[in-house]
Amino acid sequence: MAGGGAAASALSSPWRALLQRALDANAHLKHSTFFQLATVSGGGRPANRTVVFRGFLEHCDKIQINTDARSNKISEIKEWPLGEICWYFTDSWEQFRISGIIDVIDGSSLDPAKLQLREKAWFASSVKSRSQYLGPCPGLPVANDDHIKDVHVDASAGPVDAYCLLTLDPEKVDYVNLKSNQRLMFRRAQEGDESSDWMAEKVSP
């Protein structure tokens, strides 16, 4: 299956059509945009957590995820930037396992284009969603319940320090449909080449 050039690739990546169909078929479920992101933390320990799909970057297949720059996973991913998404659609019984390299884009990035992506993703989030980055540092012990104060977010203000955009650049997509009992394996022909084509193979489920 061929795509030509970055823009065509983004439009023609063969698994994208399957994923869009699954998103449409499960759109009535709030959790249809939730998936589990696995990474490897210190000492080679697997780490796994639910995150929210924030769409693709324009003109490519990179998957956007919002996260808190103060969470453990940020330093872990900077150290070892491999990830595998497991995205199970509960109504259509489809699973996408999407593995690739994760880019951490926090406020310390020196790349103006990346900082612009981060700002764009910040403003694409709801004001309520942005307010969580003004709360206490995730994972720290709390002594009592009165630590959660109402925080005010200025809707026109840019991203706060704690806001971090992750992008995962897919290299392999393992798709299985448990209703039709079909499984397809997609591999990017050349790793690291954004404009490369994808190979698809039918494998046993």
Residues binding a second copy (CB under 8 A): 29-31, 34, 36-40, 44-50, 80, 82-86, 88, 90, 95, 97, 99, 135-142, 147-148, 181, 183, 185, 201-205
Which whole-number Å values give the CA distances from 188 to 10, 131, 167, 168, in the listed order? 12, 37, 17, 14
Least distance CB 3 / a second copy (angstroms): 22
Q: In the 8-state DSSP scheme, what is residue 179? A: T
- Paired with 98 in beta bridges are 85, 173
CB of 195 to a second copy, least distance (A): 23
Tell the smallest beta-carbon distance from residue 154 to a second copy (Å).
22
Neighbours of 13 (CB within 10 A): 22
For residues 193 and 201, give the distance between their C-alpha atoms in angstroms, rounded to a whole number.
Answer: 20
Measured from the CB atom, the residue of 115 and 130 that comes closer to a second copy is 130
Nearer to a second copy, 110 or 137 (CB): 137
For a second copy, the closer of residues 70 and 117 by Cβ is: 70
Contact (CB, 8 A) for 203 and 185 = yes
Q: Whose Cβ is closer to a second copy: residue 12's or residue 41's?
A: 41
Distance CA 181, CA 153 (A): 47
CA distance 78 to 164: 12
Q: Minimum distance from CB of 177 to a second copy (Å)? A: 13
